[in-house]
Chain A
Amino acid sequence: MRSPEGPVRSETLILRRAQDERRVEGLAPRRRTVTMTPDARAALARAGFSRRDFLKTSGALIVGFSAAGAAQRIGLAQRGGGARGPQVDARQLDSWIAIATDGSVTAYTGKCELGQGISTAQLQLVAEELSVPIARVKLIQCDTSIAPDQGTTSGSQSTPTNFNERNLAQAGATAREALVRLASERLGAPVNQLAAADGVITVKGDASKRVSYGELVGGKKFSIPLSTTAKRKPASEWTVLGKPVGRVDMPAMATGQFEFVHNVRVPGMLHGRVVRPPAVGATLVSVDESSVRGLPGLVKVVVKKNFVGVVAEKPWQAIQAANRLKATWTPGVGLPSHRDFYDYLRKQKPSRDTFVVSSKDVDEKLAQAKEVLKATYLHPYQMHGSIGSSCAVADVQGDKATIWSPTQSAHPTRSGSALLLGLPVENVRVIFTRGSGCYGINGADTVSYDAALLSQAVGKPVRVQLSRRDEMAWENYGVAFVIDQRVGIDANGTIVAWDYEGWSPTLGGRPGYDRPGNVITGQLAGFEPAAFTPRTPAPDPGGAFDNGGNTAPSYVTGCVGGKCGGTGTVRSERVLSHTVKSHFFTGPLRSPSRLQNTFAHECFMDEVASRVKVDPVEYRLRHLSDARLSHVVREAAKAARWEARPSPRPDVRRTGIAGGRGISCVLYEGDNGYAAMVAEVDVDQATGRVRVKRIVVAQDCGPISNPDGMRNQLEGGALQGMSRALGEEVTWDDQKVTSIDWRTYHSLPLGFEVPAVESVLVNRTDVEATGSGETSITIVAAAIGNAIFDATGARIRQVPFTPERVKAALDARIGSSALL
C-alpha cells in the first residue's frame, strides 16, 4: 500500500484493516538478475534447476549467475544493475510456483521463517496442494529479487494470508488444476478420471496411463493467472498439511550447520561497529579521529550527521576501535523519572485520541448502576531482547547495494535502504537471511541500515553485529501502558457498562517503505521518525468495529455504525485510547498493545467476578456472545479440571505457600485466533515469589497446518509471556536506558522451574485459518495475576510481578496484619 513504486494489488489478496502490523501485500517490481546465498542456490540445484532453466523458462527465477560459491555475492552487487526486469506479477501463477524438469517444485513466498516454523508449514501447504512429497518442494522466501512482496512477516498474519483461498495456497490449487488439465489433454482422459499422487497423474483404474509433472511442464512456465475458482483440497483429504511434520530446518540447527545471517561471509568483507550516543537525544559535536589512528586493522571512521561507526578488517579490531574512539556529544534531552513514569504518561500532552467504540450512554448507565467498580493497570516498556544481537551484511558499491538482512520486512527494507543510501530502489536488493528470533521489530532493520551505511562509506562489503548494549538500549520497545477500567453492575451482578481509557507512548516503529527514521540508525543519519499527529477530542468511531489492538474487552458488543463486531454482551461501551510521544523508539513486540490491553481486561473481569462472588469461568461465559470464544474457555477449564467457585479460594491463609488458579481468554486482534488459558501458581507469602506450576491453553485457530508447530508456538508464547509477566521491564536513569544486558533486563533462564504446558487444539476445518503465534502470550499475564489473587486475595495490577511487588500487595491485604 505504501510502496513508492505504486504496487499492483492482486485480486486474490484480501484487504485487511490497516493496522500497525498489517500491510496489504502490495507487489513491487522485480529485477531480473539475482544471486542467492549458497544454501538457497544449493536448494535450487537440488530442485533440479540448471542455470539455463532459470534464464529461459521460469517466470520467477531469472538468474544470471554462473558458478556457485560465495564469490557470486560480490558479483551480484557489481553486476546487478542491469535494466529493470518486467514487473513480476503476483497475479501470475509463475510468480509463486515453478516445476523443474525432474518434477520438483519451487515455491516463492513473501512470508519468511523467523523461527516460528512457517517455512515448514508452507512446504506442507505446497506439497499438499500439488500432491508431491514434501522433500520435493523447495521454498524461496523473502528475497526482493525473486519473491513476491508480501510486506512484513508479522502480526500472526502469515497463516491467514497464505493458507486461505488466496496467495500461496491458491497458487498451489491453481497449479494442480492446471496440471490435471494438461494431463487430461495428454492422456486423452476426462479430468474427473484422473488422480494426482506423488507428482504423477494417472488415469483411475489404469495405472499404465500416467504422466509426471516434469513431463507436463517441467522447466516451462504455466503462463496463467492465479485462479479465483481453483478448489483447494478439502482438509479431509490432507495427508501432509495438518500433520505434525518436523521442522525441515531442525537437523541443521541442532548440529550447528544452519546458515544464519551472522554466518554470511562474502569475499573481501570487513567488519563494522557503530558508536551510539551516550544519552537519549544527544547529538554529535565532534569526533577525534586521532584517538584511533594507527589501531591495527582500522579501515575507516565513518560519520554521517549523528551516525558514527568504524570499519576494520576483523570484528575484534572494530570493537576496540569503537571503544577507543573519542566522540563528543551534547547532553541528552533528559528523561522523565522512571519511578513516576506512569503518572507522567497519563498527564502527557498533546495526545492522539481514538474511540474504538462509544455507545454514548456509558456515563448514564454508570450513574444508574447498582455499583461501579474501577481499577488501574500498569504495564512497562519491554524489549524484544533477541538472544543474538542483530547482524546484517551489506555490499554497497557504486550505485548498487545488496543487503543480507534478518528483517521481517524485506521489500520495505529495500525501499528504506534506498532512501538512506540515496540510491534508486531498483538498485537495491534485500536477501532475507535468518537471524535470531525477533518477536517483532528488534534490531534487525536498524542493523541492516548500519551495515548499508558503513559499506557505502568504504565501498566494500561490511558485516555489522550490534553489541548487547546497542541492541538493548536502542531497539524499538514494546510500549508501556496505563489503563483505567470502570464497569457498572446491576442488581443481578451483571455488567451493564464498560468504560476503558488507556495511555501509551509512541515513537517511530516499523520503517515501512519510506520511513527509515522510525529506527535509531535512520534517525541518526538524518531521517525523521513518522510525525506525531495529536488529535483531541477523539472523533466518533467510523467504519466498522476494529479491535485489532484488543483495546476493547471481549465482553462488549462492539457496535459501530449499527453493526456489532464484538464477542460480548455489554451494550454500553466506551473505549478511548490516547497515544502520546515516547522518548524511546517503540514498535511491535509480540502481541503489541494486545498483550497489555488483555492483561488489563482479563484481570479486571476477574476482579468484577470476585466482587459479585461468581466463578470466573462462569462469569466470563455469562458475558460472552461468541460461541468459539466460549468454547475455548470451556475447553481450557475442562482440561485443567477447573473447580467452579468464586475467587479468592475460601480458605486463603495469610502465611506460607498459597496455591491458586486463574483463567483468561482472548480473540486475538478481534478476529485472528481464539485462546483461553488456565494458570496454576504457588505464591510464597514470605518472599512474594511466584512459581507457575502448570499452564493449560486451549486454542481454536481454524484448520491446523501443523499441530506440533502450533504446540511449539503455544508453549513458547506461554513461557515468554510468563517471563514478561514476572520479570521484564526496561529501566532508565535521567539520561539513558539502563537495561543493557541480561543482568539489567531479566529473562527467565532455562534453569527455572518450568511449568508443565498443556495445549488443547481445537481443529476446525470449516472456517478460515488464523494465526497462532501470539495467542498464548497475550493471555498469560492475566491468567497468572488472577491465579495469584485466587491463592492469596492480593491483586497485582502492575507488570512485572516481581517478588517485591507481590510482597507489597500481600502486605496491603485488608486485615492481613491481624491475621499474620
Chain B
Amino acid sequence: MAVTMATISLTVNGRSHALNVDPDTPLLYVLSDDLELRGPKFGCGLGQCGACTVIVRGRAVRSCVTPVGTLNRADITTLEGLGTSERPHPIQQAFIDEQAAQCGFCLSGVILTAKAFLDQNPRATDPQIQQAMSTVLCRCFAHTRMLRAIKRYAQEKA
C-alpha cells in the first residue's frame, strides 16, 4: 500500500509552489488544504457541481476530479486569484453589483466557468451561455441574478 510521492510544481495565482504529494491526490485538496485557499470548494467530489472549479490554461477545470500529478508546472487561477474585495475583477464586480448570490458557496463554479467560457467566446449568445453553464449548480437558486451578472460581464467585454 505504499504510495509513491512526487514533487509537483504548480503556479497558483502567480505564486510558485513545489509540493511533495501523492500525485493521485485531486488538485482540490492540494489547493484547499496544503495551500489553504478558500476559493475552490468541495461540493461533490464527482465532477458534477462545479464548486471546485479553477482555471488552468484558460479553461475551467474541476479540481476535485483532476489528479495533481497531471498538472505539473501548470498555471492555476482560483477565485481569489482574479481580484480582491478591494479590487474585484470585472466579473466579480458584476456579481457584486447584481447581488448575485445567497450563501455564496457555489461561486467558484459559477464565476470561473462563465469567465473561462466568455473569455474564449466573447460573442456568445444567451443559449450558448446557458449551454456553458448547464452542469453548474447553485442550490440557493440565485440563477436569475447570476445570469444577469454573467451577461453584464459579457457586455462589458464586448
Instruction: Evaluate contact between B144 and A719: CB separation under 8 angstroms.
Output: yes
B44 at the interface (CB under 8 A from A): yes
Known contacts A467-B45, A708-B99; decide if A255 and B133 are in contact (CB<8 Å): no
- Among A250, A391, A757, chain B packs the most CB atoms within 10 A around the CB of A250
Kindly specify which of A274-282, A344-352, A539-547, A741-749 makes contact with the partner chain: A741-749
Which residues does chain B contribute within 8 Å of A295, judged by CB atoms? 1
Measured between beta carbons, the chain B residues less than 8 angstroms from A387 are 43, 49, 51, 103, 105-106, 137-140
A246 vs B132: C-alpha distance in the bound complex, in angstroms?
Answer: 28
Q: Which B123-158 residues sit within 8 Å CB-CB of chain A?
A: 130-147
Q: How far is the CA of A434 from the CA of B99 in the complex (A)?
A: 18
Contact partners of A265 in chain B: CB under 8 A: 36
* Cβ–Cβ contact A750 & B101, under 8 A: no
Partner of B141, one of A253, A259, A294, A716: A716
16 A-B pairs in the complex with CB atoms less than 8 angstroms apart: A252-B85, A256-B82, A257-B85, A389-B45, A391-B42, A436-B103, A437-B102, A468-B44, A712-B145, A715-B142, A715-B143, A715-B145, A716-B141, A720-B140, A748-B143, A749-B133
Interface residues of A in 445-498 (CB under 8 A from B): 465, 467-468
Q: Is A656 interfacial (CB-CB < 8 Å)?
A: no
Number of A residues, CB within 8 Å of B: 66
Interface string of A248-264 (1 = CB under 8 A from B): 01111111111110110
Is residue A314 contacting chain B, with contact meaning CB distance below 8 A? yes
Assess the A750–B146 pair: CB atoms within 8 A.
yes
For A757, the chain B residues whose CB sits under 8 A away are 144
Q: A254-B104, A749-B137 are known contacts; what are 5 more A-B pairs with Cβ within 8 Å?
A: A254-B101, A271-B33, A316-B29, A716-B140, A757-B144
**Chain A residues near B81 (CB, 8 Å)?**
256
- Determine whether the beta carbon of B38 is less than 8 Å from that of A258: yes
Q: Tell me whether A670 is interfacial, beta carbon within 8 Å.
A: no
**A113-121, A195-203, A524-532: which lies at the interface:** A113-121
With A and B bound together, what is the CA distance between A748 and B145 in angstroms?
15
* Distance between Cα atoms of A550 and B145 in the complex (Å): 30
- Residues of the A chain whose Cβ atoms lie less than 8 Å from the Cβ of B85: 251-252, 255, 257
* 0/1 interface trace, chain A 128-169, chain B, CB 8 Å (1 if under): 000000000000000000000000000000000000000000
Q: Which residues of the partner chain B approach A258 to less than 8 Å between Cβ atoms?
A: 38, 104
Question: Is the CB of A512 closer than 8 A to any CB of chain B?
Answer: no
Contact A294 B138 (CB under 8 A): no
Cβ-based interface call for A631 (8 A):
no
Q: How far is the CB of B117 from chain A (nearest CB, A)?
A: 11
B 31-45 contacts with A by CB, 8 A: 32-33, 36-45
Among B26, B89, B107, B143, the one with the most A-chain Cβ atoms within 10 Å of its Cβ is B143
List the interface of chain A (C-beta within 8 A of B). Answer: 114-117, 246-247, 249-260, 262-263, 265, 271, 294-296, 314-316, 385-389, 391, 434-437, 439, 465, 467-468, 708, 712-713, 715-720, 722-723, 741-743, 747-754, 756-757
Q: Hey, what's the 0/1 contact readout for B85-104 against A, CB within 8 Å counting as 1? A: 10011001001100101111
Complex CA gap A602/B88 in Å reads 45
Whether B88 pairs with A251 at a CB distance below 8 angstroms is: yes
Nearest neighbor of A723 in chain B, beta-carbon distance? B141
- Of the residues B25, B95, B108, B131, contact of A316 by C-beta under 8 Å: B25
| Known A257-B84, A742-B49: A747·B42 in contact at CB below 8 Å | no
Does A749 lie within 8 Å of B134, measured CB to CB?
yes
Of the candidates B41, B46, B103, B135, which one forms a contact with A749 in the assembled complex, judged by CB atoms under 8 Å apart?
A: B135
4 A-B pairs closest in CB distance: A115-B103, A256-B39, A256-B79, A751-B134
Known: A263-B32, A314-B29, A388-B43. A754 touches B144 (CB 8 A): yes
Do A468 and B45 touch (CB < 8 A)? yes
* Neighbouring A residues of B48 by C-beta, 8 Å: 468, 741-743
Residues of chain B with a CB closer than 8 A to A436's CB: 41, 43, 103, 105, 139
Q: Is the CB of B141 within 8 A of A751?
A: no
A750 touches B43 (CB 8 A): no
Q: Which B residues from 1 to 31 make CB contacts under 8 A with A?
A: 1-3, 22, 24-26, 29
Q: Chain A contacts of B82 at CB under 8 A? A: 255-256
Q: State in angstroms the CA–CA spacing of A747 and B142 once bound together.
A: 13
* Bound CA span A250–B138, Å: 16
Contact of B104 among A115, A263, A386, A723 (CB under 8 A): A115
Chain B residues near A717 (CB, 8 Å)? 141
B118: CB under 8 A from chain A?
no
Residue picked from A114, A115, A751, most chain B C-beta under 10 Å: A751
Residues of B within 8 A of A435 (CB): 103, 105
Q: Is A256 within 8 A of B42, CB to CB? A: no
Q: Which residues from chain B contact A752 at a C-beta distance below 8 Å?
A: 130, 134
Given A250-B101, A719-B143, are A751 and B43 neighbors across the interface (CB < 8 Å)? no
CA gap between A244 and B142 in the complex, in Å: 17
A316-B96 contact, Cβ under 8 Å, with A749-B137, A750-B136: no
- Closest Cβ of chain B to A208, distance in Å, is 37
**Chain A residues with Cβ under 8 A from B142's Cβ?**
712, 715-716
Tell me the bound Cα distance from A315 to B33 in angstroms: 8
Q: Are B104 and A742 in contact (CB under 8 A)?
A: no
A752 to B138, CA, bound (A): 12
Q: Report yes or no: A750 in contact with B107, Cβ–Cβ below 8 A.
A: no
Residues of chain B within 8 A of A271, CB atoms compared: 33
B111 part of interface (Cβ distance < 8 Å): yes
Which chain B residue has the least Cβ–Cβ distance from A463?
B33
Docked Cα-Cα span, A221 to B76, in Å, equals 50
